[in-house]
Amino acid sequence: MERPRITRIPLPSSLPMGGVNVFLYRGREALTLFDTGVLTDEAYAALEAGLAAEGVGVRDLERIVLTHHHFDHIGLLRRLAEASGAQTCGHPDTLECLRMTYQFDGAYREYYRALFREMGVPGEEIEMFIRGRERLRQYLDVYSVDRFLADGSVLDGFTVHHVPGHSPTDTLFLHASGDTIVGDHVLATVTPNPILRRPFAGRERVKTLVEYRESLTRTRSLPISWCHPGHGEGFGDASAVVDAILARQDRCCERILALLPAAGMTPYEAMRGLYPAPSPALMFFRLSVAAGHLEWLETLGKVRREQETGGASRYHAVSPEAKETP
């Protein structure tokens, strides 16, 4: 099988996750760009330069495809779509997830205040998070999605695979050759973070790390020969990368169990144990790590959760003897 013509164009970002990759694909149906990078003039200029090196311009784009809805991958969508007239494509839940994640209205604030109280976060840090999170407005310029991509559908030689975890809209695009646009689902040297998130109306909050591990198990069985990731260089042997991610998660669980005192601990306390040096900018991401691993340990039956009077969740170790009691 002939490999597809996919060109990586790295775009700059001053955000904690660093630079972001977008990919130019010369398909049979359309000249396609996967993801759009962060909403900055610097990223746009780098994209123009990368396209020019391939002999094309923004106006030549015919299709823009999103791997997921996070702001560092969707930021330039409006600007590019309006300049090119390209068809925009993404997960069926993209627009709702953008609203739930980035609307920053009263319902958003109240949900996260309640969630962080459940995580055991002190009140002053909750308000600091909300103020910091709302600074993301500068990176958002939401645009419509013209075509929703169902799981299992085919797009110009790629089969669409929904792999929720890091985000609910995470999508793999698996070419018949084995080349795969993977977004942030699997990264070679970084463990993608299944981030705490608001549930859809009428549903319970998803245990994101549990969901992510289920998706990784499915990904491991796919015939992927080469990964084109949202951050960093491309890589082969996706199954080995998946195994490494799972192993790092397992080691993090072991660290949490070793930290767990007889009195138990909240996700916030687990976060402070894992990351002793405070970082307001990274608090939400680190809290997602701690909460996710505690929820995975609860799923394994290694910890149990109790709700404190104030609403915080406190996790306690489950002894082997307790697990064997009928």
DSSP track, 131-199? HHHGGGGGG------SEE--TT-EETTEEEEE--SSSTT-EEEEETTSEEEEETSS-SSS-------PP
- CA angle in degrees (0–180, nearest 5) for 18-278-299: 85
From the CB of residue 45, how many other CB atoms can be counted at a distance below 10 Å?
A: 12
Instruction: Report the CATH number of the 261-324 domain.
Output: 1.10.10.10
Q: What is the pLDDT of residues 185-200, one digit of tens each?
A: 999 988 999 999 999 8
DSSP track, 226-246? EEEESSS--BS-HHHHHHHHH
For the record, the structure tokens of 91 come out as 């997960």
The b-or-e profile of 49-75 (16+ CB within 10 A means b, else e) is: ebbeeeebebeebebbbbbbbbbbbbb
From the CB of residue 305, how many other CB atoms can be counted at a distance below 10 Å?
A: 14
- CA angle in degrees (0–180, nearest 5) for 310-316-317: 175
CB half-sphere exposure, 132, CA atoms < 13 A: 15
Predicted TM-score (pTM) of this structure: 0.94
Q: What is the pLDDT along the chain (326 residues), one digit of tens a residue?
A: 688 899 999 999 887 777 999 999 999 999 999 999 999 999 999 999 999 999 999 999 999 999 999 999 999 999 999 999 999 999 999 999 998 888 888 888 999 999 999 999 998 889 888 888 888 878 888 788 999 999 999 999 999 999 999 999 999 999 999 999 999 999 998 899 999 999 988 899 999 999 999 999 999 999 999 999 999 999 999 999 999 999 999 999 999 999 999 999 999 999 999 999 988 888 999 999 999 999 999 999 999 999 998 889 999 999 765 444 33
- CA angle in degrees (0–180, nearest 5) for 53-58-60: 95
DSSP track, 22-37? EEEEE-SS-EEEE---
User: Burial level of 276, CB count in 10 A (0-12/13-18/19+)?
Assistant: exposed
Nearest to 223 by CA among 206, 236, 208, 233: 236
Q: Rg of the Cα trace of the chain?
A: 21
Nearest to 201 by CA among 312, 119, 96, 95: 96
